[in-house]
Amino acid sequence: MKKINVFFTLIVVLSFFFLSSERSDYDFFLDPNMGVGDLLEIEFVKHGELYMKNKNSIIKKIDIELADRDTEKRNGLKYRSFLKKNRGMLFLLNNQEEYKKIDMKNMRIPLDIIYINQFDTIIFVNKDVSPMRELEIVDFPSTIKYILEINSGMSEKWGIKEGITKIVFFLNENNEN
């Protein structure tokens, strides 16, 4: 009898939870415009820390999540509703053509997209990039080795300067290959 009461209470609580939520996880069965991606929220995973410096002084330290596998590069920060201000995603590129595949399709948040060359120098900042759109492909005079995505407006706030700001990053021990 006690198990039945506990089970009944659990059903009532869960029913209340689902009925009281503004949007149920089951709405996508009823709404043909809603996809699985609308329900997906990917958590930030800290793989290391990145330091930005102008000349000899550090201007900012942020936590980074790496995108070094093809799937991670393809998805990037897609399916995320927010990114805390002292965080970013660092894409490790294998070849020069990879940076051209970065886009804002299925993005939910505006970003500053920072292009970094083989000398760890920031060479271009695409500021205030709106979500849900394709990016204009830019040909750079030097090799792009990394791309850093941060919240829109942070590059200006932190004083990032093209051709001057350099990066250094350190990975957590369990992320080194």
The answer to whether the beta carbons of residues 112 and 155 sit under 8 Å apart is yes
pTM of the entire predicted model: 0.75
Most confidently modeled range among 68-82, 131-145, 160-174? 160-174
- What would the pLDDT profile of 58-84 be if each residue is shown by its tens digit? 999 999 999 999 989 988 898 889 999
Handedness of CA 163, 156, 101, 46 (dihedral sign): positive
pLDDT recorded at residue 99? 83
- What would the pLDDT profile of 90-112 be if each residue is shown by its tens digit? 999 998 788 877 777 878 899 99
The rounded distance, in Å, linking the Cα atoms of 24 and 40 is 13
